[in-house]
Amino acid sequence: MATKAHTVPQFLLEGFCSAGMSRDPERPALWVGYIRTGKIRRRGPENVGISRGLYDGPGALADATQTLEEHLKKIESNAAIAIRRLATAMIGSQVPIPEIFRFISWQAARTPGWMETEQKWIDELGWPSASDTIEQPPAFMDDIRERSRPLTLENPATGERREVSGAEDFQVHVKQGWKWILGPTDKLEMLHLQAWYFQQRHFPRLTWLQLRPPNDEDFVIGDRGVSWLVDGYADMPPAALRDPAAEVIAPLTRKIALVGRHAGSTFALSPREVNQRIAFAASNWVAGPTKEVVEQALRDRDSHLPARNLRVVRS
């Protein structure tokens, strides 16, 4: 049976829970608001963001017998410890960069919404994409061993699908207008490589701020887990993070969020504005500790809010 995978890890969701559900007051729960319907329901974190078998594949790991699901568990375990330390630390304490930043790099690349966006870009831009959307690879890419396999292409005019092997045959079909159809193996390999790009290229360029809301306010989390906006636009290619207006938002608990921006950019965000951005970038749902904060995030999704400061901890 396929593995029960959480697209946003259960341990992370637990950081956005409040008191238990009415039938079991000891059981942690959170409010989940669904973007398409606007409905908000009380759910346990173990039942949110489930996608069976999503990470059941090697995903470009050197050991082809290991699954990406097993690899992610190790990353999540280390991050869970680091986030707990951060949550109990005094304001001004240094963020444990390696464990948390590795985790948010993977989280930014691992969601179904992100995978769907990759297919959309391939359909619209072709392959390879325009040069201004391509980032130079990190140095480690030179050490990657080639693992050849057939790729699926589709003729948009006829719907015919064909498997091709080899870069030359692939390029011939693409020039003729055929589209690359990503399969599960393709998506997992791209997930792994994109996570490395985030960790090695994109995120280190940013200045990271640790945000703490007032006692009477909370952060929410969306199905993207980690999201980015560029001058107010979502679903931008990661290379757009080079833009001076780019920002990355990574909520870690209801009381801690990390925001990455370019050095010198103006910073003024309220907790409500952070939640608005998280909801705007979400594909399907937003979750938080109270029904009110989730309702507000859904209402604010497409509105403009005046900025006001919250506590900023430089990390």
Residue type, 230: V
Span 59-76, pLDDT tens digits: 878 788 889 999 999 999
Residue 25 pLDDT class (50, 70, 90 cuts): low
Yes or no: say if 277 and 5 are a contact pair by the CB < 8 Å rule: no
pLDDT at 94 over 60: no
pLDDT at 162 over 80: yes
Which of 151, 175, 249 lies closest to 206, judged by CA? 249
CA distance 32 to 132: 37
Q: Strands 227-230, 207-212: parallel, antiparallel or unpaired by DSSP? A: unpaired
Under DSSP, the state recorded for 200 is: I
Residue type, 70: E
Can you give the residue range of the structural domain that contains 216? 4-314
Average pLDDT of span 150-179? 90
pTM: 0.85
CA distance 180 to 177: 10
pLDDT at 128 over 60: no
Mean pLDDT, the chain, rounded, equals 84
Residue 208 pLDDT class (50, 70, 90 cuts): confident
Give the pLDDT confidence score for residue 266 in this predicted structure. Answer: 66
Which of 183, 203, 180 lies closest to 126, judged by CA? 180
Give the pLDDT confidence score for residue 93 in this predicted structure. Answer: 44
Span 211-267, pLDDT tens digits: 999 999 999 999 999 988 888 888 788 888 888 989 999 999 999 999 999 887 666
Element at 45 (helix H, strand E): none
H helical segments located in the chain: 10-14, 68-88, 97-109, 112-125, 167-175, 184-197, 271-281, 291-300
For 102, the token pair is 């590795």
**Burial of 233: CB neighbours in 10 Å, binned 0-12, 13-18, 19+:** middle
Span 111-121, pLDDT tens digits: 888 888 888 87
For 35, the token pair is 């973007």
Give the pLDDT confidence score for residue 58 in this predicted structure. Answer: 87
How many domains, in total, are found in the chain?
A: 1
Torsion sign (Cα): 60, 122, 73, 253? positive
Higher-pLDDT residue of 154, 141: 154
